[in-house]
Chain A
Amino acid sequence: MDRRRFVRTFATGSLALASLPSFASGKENKITILHTNDTHSHIDPFPLDDKKYPGQGGVNRRKALIDRIRKEEDHVLLLDAGDIFQGTPYFNMHHGELEFKVMTAMGYDAATMGNHDFDAGIEGFEKMLPHANFPFLCANYDFKDTILKDKTLAFKVFNKGGMKIGVFGVGVELNGLVSKELYKETNYLDPIEKANYYANHLKNEEKCDLVICLSHLGYVPRHNKMCDPVLAENTENIHLIIGGHSHTFLDEPQMYKNKAGKQVLINQVGWAGLILGRIDFYFNTNGDPDLWASNVINTNYNIG
């Protein structure tokens, strides 16, 4: 078990938690966020003779792990940050059908669209949607003049154990990255503006206890200056950014300060379904989004 743990758990955090007064019973105030990004049609594990990831990955084992966590935890949310398509012949041959089917079987709650999810064109993506029993959250792609009109959502609110969790998604600029013939009349909107708008809406109108942004902007900028740290520092009301696009293996979630000086976590788990990201959030009535990071401030976080 320990061997498989990607990163050690935080003893300091757990101790601090134990010292906090807890009003609700143990399991009531815990939300388990599971996440993937850039799975890129990696249905099967890497071959045993693969130089970098021999025998790693594979959706069947990912599902076994998710099933086990669901048995152990009451309130689980399973999310993906995009680029589900492209990367193995499964996609070239079956156009994403199996990718959506296995994600549905695993019980994904929501995903956002990555640039490669446009690789079969927006028509190709639309054709596969019946196989996905979960919503695609795209707050900064305006699809109103396309076949995807009303087929995606900007955000969704999940109710888990008395908590409200608001999730929205932002995607990368398509021009220069994806052929216009594929994304057609999709209109790219400023991710920071849209993130601020929807995070504010989720926090203050929908009264969400936890606001999560699914981002396919990348942890490091690739083809323009936009990236998750820039998003974090220029927005408010987001607690967690689940990233993708840059295929970054973060050893642990990175802490940034948002526009209002509050803490934002960014996490990303590489690509190809090699890792299942997991972050457990603990809630109580004394917790304060302004201060919650102080429980773990003594670990080696780089507080930005």
Chain B
Amino acid sequence: MRNLFFFSFFIFLSCGTQKIADYKQDSVVIDSTLGDGGLDEMIQPYRESMVEEMSEVIGVATKDLIKYNPESPLSNFTAEAAFLAGIDYSKSNADLSGLSAENTFAMLNFGGLRAPIHQGDITVGEIFELMPFDNTLVIVKISGDKVRMLARYIFDKLGQPVYNANFLLTPDIETMKIGGVEYNFDKELYVITTDYLSSGGDNMTFFNEPLGIWDTGILLRDVFIQYVKEKKELGGFELTGKIQINN
């Protein structure tokens, strides 16, 4: 046996480098049958502080806030929170001194609202479920033509979360109001949205090559958390008919 080993070793050296002869794959699904790797002790302090933060109650919902098209309590809550935070941010940025409720609206994406807010206590964890992505609040300035494309997009998608804008949309005609005043797609507008959408996410191509773009660096999730903390009680968000789609 020992001789064989030396013989093998000799051959190994004399034959030069080893080459791949074959392979076999054996990937394994990770599940509870695999046992304990002993990492729990390392994880536990992180988990505890996370659970603690996630279970913090920041307000109360007087009713379920759920989402549906074209307008819903959940989309009204999120778009309003984004709008107010964007207006607030504009006051601290001299480049945005021209921004006002007369030329600005908020639009988020329906698909980005990942979970409802349930009636009762609202925890930080619930807001994380609603908005798990680290998307930031962005302000984009676009031309009237692009706003028309945006309106058409809302028609095609059968709605989106919006605030401070009204849409009456048919297959041929877009009618729009900003702050309750009729808008004729002739002026530039500011849209308060997210970095994901302003960079073309969800095929929002009308945000490509904007006239101006400002990333606030504020997480949309933090916008929601702040809004709940300030309001304490979340209710209302009644449907206003702000988006009417007549196919």
Contact = CB atoms under 8 A, between A and B. Distances in A.
Interface of A: 4-7, 9-10, 13-14, 16-17, 20, 23-25, 28-29, 43-45, 55-68, 86-87, 89-90, 92-94, 97-98, 101-102, 105-106, 119, 162-163, 176, 179, 181, 207, 209-210, 239, 252-253, 265, 267, 269, 273-289, 292, 295-296
Contacts of B21: 17, 20, 29, 282-284, 286-287, 292, 295
A63 B39 contact: yes
Contact of A287 (B20, B39, B49): B20
Contact of B19 (A43, A93, A287): A287
A281 B31 contact: no
B204 to A, nearest CB: 13
B20 A5 contact: no
Interface residues of B, number: 48
Contact of A98 (B25, B34, B37, B46): B46
Nearest to B195: A179
Given A89-B53, A102-B42, 9 more contacts: A20-B21, A45-B30, A60-B40, A209-B19, A273-B30, A280-B24, A283-B18, A285-B18, A289-B20
Contact of A5 (B28, B42, B217): B28
B47 interface: yes
Interface stretch (B4-12, B171-179, B230-238): B4-12
A9 B25 contact: yes
A90 to B, nearest CB: 6
A279 B31 contact: no
Contacts, number: 212
B205 interface: no
B43 A60 contact: yes
Query: What 3 A-B pairs are tightest by C-beta distance, nearest first?
Result: A63-B37, A287-B21, A287-B19
B8 A23 contact: yes
A271 B36 CA distance: 21
Nearest to B31: A56
Given A25-B8, A90-B46, A252-B25, A45 B18 contact: no
B111 interface: no
B17 interface: yes
Q: Classify the secondary structure of A's interface with B.
A: mixed
A87 to B, nearest CB: 8
B38 A176 contact: no
Interface string B113-139: 000000000000100100010101000
Interface of B: 5, 8, 11-12, 15-40, 42-43, 46-47, 49-50, 53-54, 125, 128, 132, 134, 136, 195, 199-200, 215, 217
Nearest to A119: B134
Q: Tell me which of B24, B27, B200 has the highest count of chain A C-beta atoms within 10 A of its own C-beta.
A: B27
A98 B54 CA distance: 17
B23 A61 contact: no
Contacts of B26: 5-7, 9, 278-280
Nearest to B18: A283
Contact of A210 (B20, B29, B34): B20
A296 B22 contact: yes
A282 B22 contact: yes
A58 B30 contact: yes
B228 to A, nearest CB: 17
Nearest to A279: B25
Contacts of B215: 179, 181
A13 B235 CA distance: 64
Contacts of A89: 50, 53-54, 125, 128
Q: Tell me which of B15, B38, B42, B200 has the highest count of chain A C-beta atoms within 10 A of its own C-beta.
A: B42
Contacts of A44: 43, 47
Nearest to B21: A287
Contact of B30 (A20, A65, A119): A65
B27 A7 contact: yes
A108 B134 CA distance: 27
A23 B30 contact: no
A210 B21 CA distance: 11
